[in-house]
Structures are given as C-alpha cells and as structure tokens.
A and B are shown apart, each in its own frame.
Chain A
C-alpha cells in the first residue's frame, strides 16, 4: 500500500480519536478553540496526502502546499485584484446600499402604509436571483468597478431594508410609553430608544449583506471587467487550467469574507452587549 495513503488514514483516525477525547472536556473553554482548529489542520494534511498519494492531476485539485506557494509568489497580483474587486466594487457598494437602505427604513418608518407594502415585497425580492442582473449593470455602467458597485447596491438593499424596518418596528410598547411620559421628541425617541433597540436586527442585516456584497462584486466580473479583479482572474485562470491561482484567489476571498464578517460581529458585540443573544 502507498505510504502516503497509509499516512492519510493514520492521520485521519488519529485526528478523529484526539478530537473525540478533547471534546469530552466540554467545560474546558480552550476545547472550543482546539477542536475546530485540529479539524482544520487534519483536513489540510489529509488533502495534501491524498493529492500526493493518488497522484491527482494538479489541474483537478492542487495540493495545499502548491496553493500556498502560488499565493506567496503572486502577492502583487492578488493585492491588485483585491483592491479592484473588494475595496472598489464590494465595499463601496456595501456602504452605499446598506446606508441608503437604512435611511429608507427610517424615512418610511412613520408611514404604516408604505411599510406594509414594502415589507412583503422586500422579502420577496430578497429571495430573487438578483445577481442575474449583473450583465445589465455591466451594460449600463461599463466594465470597471462602477458596475460592480451598482450590482452590490441592488443586492444588499432589500435584505438590509427588511431587517432595519423590522428592527425599528419591534419595540416594547411600555418603553415607548415611558419615552412619551418623558415628553421625548421624535428624534430623541429615535436616537435614545428605537435605534439602539433595532441594532441587533441592523447587525443581522449587515452580516447577511457582507457575503452578498462579495458574491455580487465577484460574479459581476464574469460578465466583463478590466484585466484585473478577482472574478476576472478566476474565470481567466480557470480557462487556462491554472487551478493553483484560482485557489489562491478563493483563499483571499475566503479570508476577506471572514474578516469582513468578523469586524461586523466585533462591532456588534461592542454596541449590543445588553442584548440576550450576546450574553454567555
């Protein structure tokens, strides 16, 4: 039997056994960190060994070490793509889209009729394959990042709107009565009571939209882009069967996605520490 395949099974079973043992100490807080990390490391080793052991063609599945070396040798290209797609396209669209959805939510909050009309519609539109509008936006706004920004705006707008409206709506009536007994004005009630208590919903919307923004910006590049950008690189390198570069881009996208999500979650924890979902 192939020595690499043997190692593959040894590491698999060893990792499994170790994880089962460690997770017995569930009171031990570190276990919650060690177990998933170990799972990830073992997974990487198994991937590497199975690629070597079965001599899988790198066109199909490159080994993690091959991806890592490609990643470190093409940092400059990856950085250019990162800036083009994620900073210029995704981030600008995310800020514009979420910001305008939030402002819309505050604006229509006073009008029950609008809310009742927009909420079911917004929920419906959130379920639609909006990313399919990407080719239209590329036609309207050109190949560069502006069209990517536009598609991201449209993709994040409705999920953010629905979440913000729901957050502003679900308020304990007794608290609102209390504000009224204080003779608080509309803006005072908005800033001191309603916005803070809507924060968990707003952050939920922001989290959902963070992934949507990355997807929109990358997929829109499949329909046309300048010769840089992550979506462009992925589709052109796939065409050349240079899968190590594709995986390097995916790694960047994954890290960026985790970072994006993590930053939002961190801000959420700082600002909504009072909410039951944040308490341990």
Chain B
C-alpha cells in the first residue's frame, strides 16, 4: 500500500500533470496557428466561435489532440483491417519490417559481439569501425538501399528490414561486448579452477551476466528499428506503412492524417519498448538478478 501511494506521488502525478499542461499548451497554440485560415474561410465570427473553428478545421495547420484521436479511432476501429484506409493495416506493414530488421540486427549484433570478445584481432580491427559507422547519418542512405534493392528485384519488406537492421545492430554490439566482458576476474578464475572450456565459460558465465546489458540495448535497438522502417518507407514511393501514410498526408495537405500516423508510430514504439521491458523483468527475475 505504502509503495503504491509513493509511486503515485513520485511518478504518476507529476507525469500526468506535465502531460495535461502540454495538452493545454497545445490547444492554446492551435488558436494562433489556425486563426488565419479560419478568418479566410469565415468572415466576422464572434471570438468564441472563432476559437472553436480553430480547433475543428478540416485541414488545420496544427490539428488538436481530439481531432487526431478521433481520426485514429475512426481509422483503427471503423475500417476493415485489410483496407488501405485502416491504420491497423499500415501499422502492421511497418511493424513487420521493424520486427524483421530488429531480429536480424540483434542476431548480427550478438554474433559480432561474440567474435569481438573471443578474438583479439577482430576486436582491434572491427570495433573502431563499428563505432565510426554510427557517426554516419545512416538514414541518409535509406533511399539508395531501397532503390538499389528494387532494381535487383528485391521489394517489399526486406529493403526496409535491412535499414532497420543496420540501425539496431549497433546498440546490441556495444551492449553485448560490455555485457560479455562484465564478469569479474575472480569469477573467470573460478571457472578456470573448474577447468571449464571457453564454451562453458561463455554459456554458464558470460552469457547470463550479459543479459541485463542485452535487454537495455534491445530497448534502444527496437526503437531505432522502428525509425528505420518508417524512414525506409519514405523515399520509395511506398503506398503502405506508417511512413507512406505520412508522405501521402504531406502530398494532399491532410495534416490530421500525418499526425495520426505519427501518434500511431509513437504508440507502436511505446508498445515495443514496454514489451521488451516486460520480458526483461520476467527473465531477470527468474534468473534472480533482480527481485
């Protein structure tokens, strides 16, 4: 009971307050931003009606939260799931690419980390380049990857997944290398006194102690993966996916559509991160790393 109330006053109340403040601020900003358009469309409105019109334009400069949420509810629950107008359909397309890329990136990252930890030459030659590769704004080459792969006949999910993979492998490599090296010398010595092979050390000591690091990296990686999938949808003239939805909204000036795709992406990101957080809690609890 005591813990619950401290959680309330410590986290929930402050966060809710800030969110509400942002909401109020949003509605206030929407007035001056949409005011010009309202005055153009409706002449000589009384102030109160003018303000209400600012919050309910069809193609506003800044849509209000309730407009976005209405649009989201409409396109989520009141459209057929396989319809091109359904947000679930577009979200699913993006989610597939995200998960495929995330899976490949994690696998590649773990393998690379194993190589780096076990092989001195690989550590010295690859690690600096892995780090350097991240100072390159990799999303800039997204259009190239998409177009090149399209021209050799690879379309659809895979090109986007490759961009996601590139974005998500880095946190995994860095976290895993740190994690696999986290056992103390004492623990390693203990394994040696048992004459454990390097495979056994890996499996019974290094791998379990790397898990907290791995999960922390996975959370960063999955968020990056989603960004990769969305940006991968932008340059290809894709017609489905959240990124394509944003692009279509830009072409037709459908601001509410752009914002609802953005919100959907935010929900998706939150869902993915919380799922991994949940898996982390279960795993680490079973391994008695956390209580």
- Taking Cβ atoms with an 8 Å cutoff, the residues of A that contact B are 16, 19-20, 22-24, 26, 31-32, 35-36, 38-40, 59-61, 113-114, 116-118, 120-121, 124, 127-129, 131-133, 135-136, 138-140, 210-211, 214-215, 218-219, 222-224, 230-231, 234-235, 238-239, 241, 243, 246, 249-250, 253-254, 257-258, 260-261
Contact = CB atoms under 8 A, between A and B. Distances in A.
Nearest to B273: A127
Contact of B140 (A31, A121, A249): A249
A142 B261 CA distance: 21
Interface centre among A118, A138, A241, A250 (most CB of B within 10 A): A250
Contacts of A260: 135
Contacts of A26: 120, 124
A132 B265 contact: yes
Contacts of A223: 234, 247, 250
B261 A132 contact: yes
Nearest to B19: A121
Nearest 10 Cβ contacts at the A-B interface? A117-B14, A39-B125, A117-B18, A257-B135, A214-B137, A35-B124, A127-B223, A135-B250, A254-B136, A116-B14
Given A132-B265, A222-B234, A238-B143, A35 B121 contact: yes
B177 interface: no
A136 B135 contact: no
B239 interface: no
Interface residues of B, number: 59
Contacts of A116: 10-11, 14-15
Interface in B14-60: 14-19
A139 B120 contact: no
B61 A140 contact: yes
A23 B14 contact: no
Contact of A258 (B132, B220, B269): B132
Interface stretch (B81-89, B145-153, B200-208): B145-153
12 contacts: A36-B124, A39-B129, A59-B148, A60-B152, A127-B223, A129-B262, A129-B265, A131-B231, A135-B247, A219-B140, A243-B148, A250-B140
B227 A136 contact: no
Contacts of B120: 23-24, 26
B2 interface: no
Given A26-B120, A243-B144, A253-B137, A135 B14 contact: no
B141 interface: yes
B124 A211 contact: no
B135 A36 contact: no
B249 A135 contact: yes
Contacts of A249: 140
Contact of B139 (A127, A135, A218): A218
Interface centre among B16, B121, B139, B141 (most CB of A within 10 A): B121
Nearest to B261: A132
A140 B30 CA distance: 13
B102 interface: no
B266 interface: yes
A20 B115 CA distance: 13
B237 to A, nearest CB: 10
A231 B17 CA distance: 39
Contacts of B253: 139
B269 A250 contact: no
A277 to B, nearest CB: 13
A138 B273 CA distance: 29
A250 B141 contact: yes
A254 B132 CA distance: 8
